[in-house]
Amino acid sequence: MRKIKRLAAAAAAMTMVFSLAACGSGDSSGGSNAETTTTVEKKLENSQQDVVDSIANDSTADDRVLENSEIKWFSFWDINPTASEDKEIGVDLALFQSKYNGKITYISTTYETKFDDLAQLVMAGDSPDFCGADDMDIFPKGAIKNMLEPIDDYIDFSTDLWKDIKDASDQFMYKGKHYVGISRVDPAYIWVFNQTVLAELDIENPKEMWANGDWNWETMAQMCVDFADPENDKYALDAWYYENALTESTGKPLIGMENGNIVNNIDDPTIAKAQEMMYELQKNNVVYPKHEHAWTVRGGKDAWGTGLASGLTLFYPIGFWAIEDAPSKTAPFGDISKGDVMFVPVPCAKDSDAQYIPSRVHGFCIVKNAKNPMGVAAWLDCTRYAEADPKAKQITADQLTEDYGWTQEMIDMREEIYKMAAEHPVFEFAAGISKDISNTTDNIIKATMHPSDPKSWTATVEEWKLTLDFLINEAQENIEG
C-alpha cells in the first residue's frame, strides 16, 4: 500500500525546499539527474485482486478510453512497490492496471534536485507525464513557473467521483484553474504513543481522554511536564513535526492561500496563543535535545519512534506514513500487533470552535507538455475510486491489519481522523511558494521551541515580521504578474 513516502516527509522536515526560480540554469552539459527505471511489481492477494477487478468492470459513463496506457512518473520515490519485500501494492495502482492495463514508468530524481531536473526535462521537450503534490512544495510555484498543466480539461469536479473533493481542490487554484488532482486529504500529523508503556507507568491514556473530550493543548502540555525527567533521559516529545503540528492546530496556517492570494497569518491571535504555549513547553525542558545529538532524533537519523517502546519518550508527533509501514520499520514504536501503539489527533485549544486537523493532500499534477495527460487523468480517477469505493477502502484496512498488524481500534481512529481532516483541513502553503518563504517560516514556527535558543513569540514576530511581509509581497507580485 502506497501512502506518502516516509523519505518524502522526512526530507520535507529536514531539507530546505529548492525554488524553481533557478530552474533555467541547469547543467552546462544539458544533462539531467533524472533516470528512467522499470521494475517488477508486487501484486495483491487473489481475493483482493478479485475485488479490484469487480470495481474495474463496473463501467460508467465517465470511463475513459486510452490510446496509450503508459504514464511516466517523475519523483524521488517509486509508486511501484518494490522497495521492500513486506511493502504492499496500492489499491490505486492495482485498479489502474486492471481497468486500463495501465503501466507507470518511473523517472527517478532526488529530493534535492527534483525541480531543476524537472525543468531540464520540460525545456528539452522530454516532459514526464505527472509528479506528486504530497510534499506541498509544488503549488503554487509549479503553476507560476509554467511547469504544470491545469487539470480542468481532464477532470470534471461536478461528477460523483470528484465532487466531494472539490472544496479542497479549490484551494489549489491559480488564475482560475486547478493544478492538483487530489485523491484525498491526508492528516499531516498524528500524536503517537505507546499505550502499553503508559499503562505500566499509570499515565492516563490519550485515547480515553479524546473519547471523553479531555484531549487538548492544556492536558497534553501538563502530561509532558509531568513526564519529562532529563536527568534520566526522559523527554515527552521527539521527532521533527510538533512545532508545525501545534501551530496548524489553531485552524490557521502561518501562510495560507485564499482565492489565489497569499495570506500571512503571523499576527493571528490564535497562532500567538499556540506559540506561547509552545514556548512554555520548551522552557520546561520537555523536548528531546536534538542539538546535543548531532541534530538527530533519538536513535539517530530516520530512526522514527525510538524511545516510545522503552518508556523514554511520551509522545511522537509524526505522519501516518511512519506507522503505515512494514513491521521492520515500525518496531521502535512498539509491537503494533500486540496493541502497543496508538494515536490521537493533534490536540487543539480547549476553547477551539472545531477540531482542526493539520493536513496535506495526496494528489498529483500533470507536467507541462505531458505526452499522455489523458493517461494521467485515468490514473487520477483510479486514485479517487480507491478512496471513494467502500470495497476498495476495505482492502486498505485489510492490508493494515493483515500485513502490518494494525488493531481494529487503530483502524477506527484512523478513519475518524481522516473524516475530521476532510471536514476541517489546515494546509500550510509556505513550501509551495518559494525557498525563501519556506526557510523564513521554518525559522518562525520553530523559534519558540528551538532546543538550544528558544525565543518568545513576541520576540520572534519582532525579528521576522518585516522580512516575511517583504517576501510575501514579492511573491504576490509574481502571482499577479
Tens digits of residue pLDDT in 135-154: 999 999 999 999 999 999 99
Q: Does domain 192-356+432-457 sit in CATH 3.40.190.10?
A: yes
Q: Which pLDDT does position 63 carry in this prediction?
A: 74
pLDDT of residue 478: 82
318, 313, 320, 317: which is closest to 289 by C-alpha? 313
Reported as a pLDDT band with limits 50, 70 and 90, residue 34 is low
More confident position, 11 or 379: 379
For residue 180, give the nearest of 234, 131, 243, 127 by alpha carbon: 131
**E-state strands within 166-320:** 173-174, 177-178, 181-187, 190-194, 235-237, 255-258, 261-264, 313-318
Assigned CATH topology for domain 6-187+360-427 = D-Maltodextrin-Binding Protein; domain 2 (3.40.190)
Percent above pLDDT 90 for the chain: 74
pLDDT at 274 over 80: yes
Neighbours of 288 (CB within 10 A): 25
pLDDT mean over 279-307: 94
- Span 333-345, average pLDDT: 97
Under the banding of pLDDT at 50, 70 and 90, the label for residue 466 is: very high
Q: List the chain domain ranges.
A: 6-187+360-427, 192-356+432-457
pLDDT at position 35: 61
Q: Please, what is the average pLDDT of the chain?
A: 88
6-187+360-427 and 192-356+432-457 share one fold = yes
Q: At what angle do helices 91-100 and 373-388 cross, to 10 degrees?
A: 130
Q: How confident is the model at residue 12 (pLDDT cuts 50, 70, 90)?
A: very low
Name 419's Cβ contacts closer than 8 Å, sequence gap at least 6. none
Q: How far apart are CA 126 and CA 35, in angstroms?
A: 12
Least confident of 120-124, 224-228, 323-327, 332-336: 323-327
pLDDT of 88: 65
- Which residues lie below 8 Å from residue 359, measured CB to CB, with a gap of 6+? 185, 186, 187, 188, 248, 421, 425, 426, 427
Grid cell locating 315: 509522545
